[in-house]
Structure formats: structure tokens, C-alpha cells
Amino acid sequence: MEDIKRRSNNIIIHGLQEERDEVEDGESRKKYDEEQLEQVLNAIQCNDVSVQSFVRLGKYGGAQGTTRTLKVATASEQQRDKVLAQAKKNLHRTMAFAKVFIQQDLTVKQRERRRELVQQLKQRQAAGETNLIIVHYKIVKRQTPRLEKSA
């Protein structure tokens, strides 16, 4: 529970380009990441979100072409939720960020549980079931919007 609370304000950004400079200068890479993060937040209309800190996860690979994940700490859970909701709606409309994915920071156990659910979901979809989604660690049928009949 402590680990979940520690991660409660964090988001994880996958696929955000990393600067490929010849010089091993961490400061210029950090500045580039800050600019990229600002562009992403602008693209998803989250200019008012306060970023406490951000860091690339893993070892820098240089010019090998690997892109490390970016962990971003927001000021509150509400701001994290806003970023996640806006990213779901607006992120892939921008061609520059078509391969960028934003998700909540999960613990190792939560990621394993989620991975198992995704596998089950794919199996059920391959078996012909449709309109399935994962909600609160359960696979459920997506509800269709109900149209109210006027009298």
C-alpha cells in the first residue's frame, strides 16, 4: 500500500523521443526532455498541470536508437487523472505523438495482474466476444449508450 501511495501522483510516458547527441551531456538531454514534456502537455491541453519532477528510467543508450521511459511526478492525483483523461482523448490526434503512450505508474504486482488481464482479454476477443474492456481489474462488456425515448 505504501508503494501504491508513493506512485499515486506519477505518470509514465512511453515512446517520447530522446535527444541523440554525440556529447554525453546529461544537462542538454534533461533540457530536451523538459521541452518534449511541455509539448506533450500542450498537445493534450494540460498546460495548467504542475510537474514536480521527471526522470528517464534506465541507462542512457546513446545513439543506439532505444527510447527510455519517462516518469513524471505531478502535484496531485487530480492533475495525474486529468493528464490521463486528456491523453486518452487528444494524444493520438497529433502526428508528432502518434507513438507516445501515457499511463499511470503501477507497482510490479499491479503490472503483472494487468498483463494477465490483457492476455485474457485478447483470448476472449479471439474467441469472438466483442465490446470487452478492462475496468478496475475486471473484464467487462462495454455498455452501449442508452437512448431515451421521447413521448
Domain limits of the chain? Answer: 2-105, 109-141
pLDDT at 117: 93
- DSSP sequence for the chain: -HHHHHTTTEEEEES------SS--HHHHHHHHHHHHHHHHHHTT-TTPPEEEEEEES---GGG----EEEEEESSHHHHHHHHHHHHHHGGGSGGGTT-EEEE---HHHHHHHHHHHHHHHHHHHTT--SEEEETTEEEEPPPPPPPPP-
- The proportion of the chain whose per-residue pLDDT surpasses 70, expressed as a percent, equals 89
Is pTM, for the whole model, over 0.85? no
Residues 3-58 pLDDT 10s: 788 888 899 999 888 877 655 667 888 888 899 999 999 989 888 888 999 999 88
pLDDT at 79: 92
Residue 70's pLDDT band, with cuts at 50, 70 and 90, is very high
Topology of the domain covering 2-105: Alpha-Beta Plaits (3.30.70)
